[in-house]
Chain A
C-alpha cells in the first residue's frame, strides 16, 4: 500500500526550531516528488513547496521561501519540513503528499496523492 505517514503533533514556543517528518512507503521514494501544504485554523489549503528526493532539488512558494526548509533523506524514505525560528502565525496543520505528474509537451501537470494524516503545529508562548 502506498502511504505517507507524518510525525505527531508539536507544541512549541515562538523562536523555537522544529522539524516534522513524512515517512513514505509502498513505492520507490526517489521516483516521485513530495510536497508540503499548510492549512491554518479554519482556512484553506496553501501550497508551500516541493522536493525531488532523488537529488534534493527544492522549489518553494514565494510566500514560504526563506522561512521554511524542505529536505529529504532517501536512505530512510523520509521528507522533512523545518523551521529555524517559529512564529505564532506558524500555528497550522501541515500535510505532506506524494506528487504524481503528467508531462504533456512543455507542460507538467502535478497532483497530490496520497496525503499524510497531517501534523498539527501549535506555537504559543
Chain B
C-alpha cells in the first residue's frame, strides 16, 4: 500500500513546464524525512532523478528540480522533451510503517 499520493497522470507539450506532486503525512514527509524521485521509462528499471529533496545526481539535466514543503514535495520538469515521457515515483521513509515508501506513481505524457 502506497502512503505517498501522486496524480495518476500529467501531460505537457514539448518545451513546457510540468510539476508532479507527492503528498504524504506527519509520519513520513511531514516528519522531516527527505523525498527522492525516480524516473522509469517503460520497459526499463527505475533511475534516480533527485535525492535529498533537491539534489540531482551527476548526469541528470538541470531541467529536473525537486522541492519540499510541509507534508508534500514536488518534481518540476522544464523544457519538456519527448524523452521525458515516463513514469515518475517519489520515495521517502516512514516512521510508523516500513522503512521506505513509494508514491503511487505518475505517468508523464509529452503531447
Contacts and interface: CB of A to CB of B under 8 A. Distances in A.
A50 B99 contact: yes
Given A109-B93, A110-B93, A112-B91, A44 B2 contact: yes
Contacts of B34: 102, 109, 111
Given A111-B48, A115-B45, A44 B89 contact: yes
Contact of B99 (A44, A110, A113): A110
Contacts of B45: 95, 115-118
A37 B99 CA distance: 12
B101 A47 contact: yes
Q: Dominant SS at the A interface?
A: strand
B94 to A, nearest CB: 10
Q: Which of A35, A100, A107, A110 has the most CB of B within 10 A?
A: A110
Contacts, number: 78
B102 A47 contact: yes
B52 interface: yes
Interface stretch (A56-64, A69-77, A82-90): A56-64
Given A44-B105, A63-B1, A107 B51 contact: no
A62 B98 contact: yes
A119 B78 CA distance: 33
B111 to A, nearest CB: 22
Interface of A: 35, 37, 44-47, 50, 59-63, 95, 97, 100, 102, 107-118
5 contacts: A44-B102, A47-B102, A50-B99, A108-B93, A118-B45
Interface of B: 1-2, 31-34, 36, 38, 40, 44-48, 51-52, 57, 87, 89, 91, 93, 97-105
Given A44-B104, A47-B99, A112-B38, 19 more contacts: A35-B100, A44-B2, A44-B102, A44-B103, A45-B89, A45-B105, A46-B2, A47-B100, A61-B97, A63-B1, A95-B45, A97-B46, A102-B34, A108-B93, A109-B34, A111-B91, A112-B46, A114-B48, A117-B44
